[in-house]
Chain A
């Protein structure tokens, strides 16, 4: 379904969606971040890239998975805690962040479906916004099979045409949102379609950074497992973990028990994001650690994204948002690393 929505009608549309929880980028201090919108008036789509991707709404940084307690007669009780199920809409999702979600679906689906993830995922509608200008100077979506107007993972893609939005619904969930305010939408005319095409084409030209020849990378990485290259590239890494915490596709987590009282026992089991750049991530209790140095941990981050994930799911586990580059305190740049891989030893 392809529609036009006047910008002046946008607020009205959002008001009609009041039965949903609405998330959108909000500016707090200097940063943009996805937050729950209480007043539709707060919603504005002029955001640059958010610090964290909307991944955190479907897969929160911290969530309780169960509670345990012993009652007075010392019976142990374990209670499953599943997230509440209210339907949500996320507005202003960048196409790269949207593409990360089907990748997470693969991880949290499969042989063992993850009920915590899917409870939220099934109830979340993703409304994307094309990037007419790249929100970051390190955007490289085109190199990883994406684009600034990719529809993958989205229910609706909106494109800013100046005084109106081009609104393309891509799924039944998307159609529903438009149908809730049918009278606000118009049919696109030939000029709108032409404008859309031009804006999309132009937006691609504005992406400056690229990985040279990504097709060769997975095989090259496989050959380079033992290479001293990883020592050289990782020397400056502080193992702060920013690169993976900010990544829209990273899914690694930890599970720990938190005690509220020890007698009678009362507490919860909590899942939190974890990080392959931390030495502790893989360290056994014995002290043995298969990835004990920075080199093996950088290698893991790169190979997981550009070799293992491809082998497992036939996709790169990177959507080119550029956050890990912009925010790394020591300037480790995944594009540079991959371009060096491409040319290594030749």
Chain B
């Protein structure tokens, strides 16, 4: 019989890492399914994570599809489900259903320069595609990351970013000045304008809060990027993840199914309601 799309598969948390502490904490979780199964996904796809008794939340898979031993999620503590996740310990069990959504058209980007632009927790949803491109570096042009957060403490993947700098260009930023900070100070879109990435043979992939995305797109347009060169992910409240519960729509599109990845060329044609 066909698998019931609403029934999560059970998984065990095998590692928890505190990325950011304080008022807006972020933790990265690695999970393994209890039973062997054929879970396969594309970069940019998401899963519905269950904390039984609390509910479900849509979370991007931040590990690349090449890694088969575990799935990784980086989660900002918000409400019921994400708070419960933050209280969990290694060995605790959660439910996972999916994968959902369209993912990034990474095959179409071969030979192009990729510019990743992230803000805050927004690095997590593009981490999978970034790692995948990095793993097949010879197939792509230049890889670049422009990433920022409110303060240096709010940056996710701090250690990984240090490593990343050895392999590709990384431009970091924080919103306001800090004593030891040597990189850009200001918002992510300003850093984009400051670094002036070239639109030539390039694709940009951006993820962050709605307001950041809006201004990043503006900054990229000012740098003469074409609409079709700009990719972003859209976040809307979700429940079913499979285009039925009716709440995540932008016009006729259900973001859970038809998104969350859109080029600006596609997104700007939809009603501006997200």
Contacts and interface: CB of A to CB of B under 8 A. Distances in A.
B14 interface: no
B210 A288 contact: yes
Contact of A283 (B237, B243, B249): B237
A291 to B, nearest CB: 7
A147 B137 CA distance: 62
Q: Which one of A107, A282, A290, A300 has the greatest number of beta carbons of chain B within 10 Å?
A: A290
Contact of B55 (A255, A262, A284, A304): A255
B10 A78 contact: yes
**Chain A binding surface SS class:** mixed
B4 A107 contact: no
B181 interface: no
Given A265-B52, A285-B78, A291 B245 contact: no
B4 A311 contact: no
Contact of A76 (B10, B82, B242): B10
Contacts of A281: 237, 247
Given A68-B52, A267-B52, A282-B236, A115 B252 contact: no
A257 B52 contact: yes
Interface of chain B, main secondary structure: loop
Given A257-B52, A311-B252, A111 B235 contact: no
Nearest to B4: A115
B93 interface: yes
B213 to A, nearest CB: 12
Given A253-B240, A288-B210, A274 B245 contact: yes
A1 interface: no
A65 B56 CA distance: 13
Interface string A248-286: 000111111101001001010100001010000111111
A122 to B, nearest CB: 14
A71 B41 CA distance: 32
A111 B254 CA distance: 13
Nearest to A254: B239
B8 to A, nearest CB: 7
Interface string A93-120: 0000000000000011011111110000
Given A290-B273, A312-B252, A80 B244 contact: no
A31 interface: no
Contact of A308 (B4, B78, B79, B249): B249
B265 to A, nearest CB: 18
Nearest to B241: A112
Interface in B23-66: 52-56
Given A253-B240, A256-B55, A78 B8 contact: yes
Contact of A112 (B8, B242, B273): B242
B247 A276 contact: yes
A78 B95 contact: yes
Nearest to A266: B53
Contacts of B235: 284
A309 B79 CA distance: 32
A257 B236 contact: no
A267 B247 contact: no
A239 to B, nearest CB: 15
Contacts of B111: none
Contacts of B237: 281-284
Given A254-B245, A282-B247, 18 more contacts: A68-B53, A78-B7, A78-B52, A78-B95, A110-B243, A114-B244, A225-B271, A251-B246, A253-B246, A257-B54, A262-B53, A265-B53, A281-B247, A282-B248, A284-B236, A285-B82, A303-B271, A308-B251
24 contacts: A65-B6, A76-B10, A107-B244, A111-B242, A112-B244, A115-B6, A251-B244, A252-B247, A253-B246, A254-B239, A254-B245, A274-B239, A274-B247, A281-B247, A282-B247, A284-B235, A284-B236, A285-B79, A286-B78, A288-B210, A307-B251, A308-B249, A309-B252, A311-B251
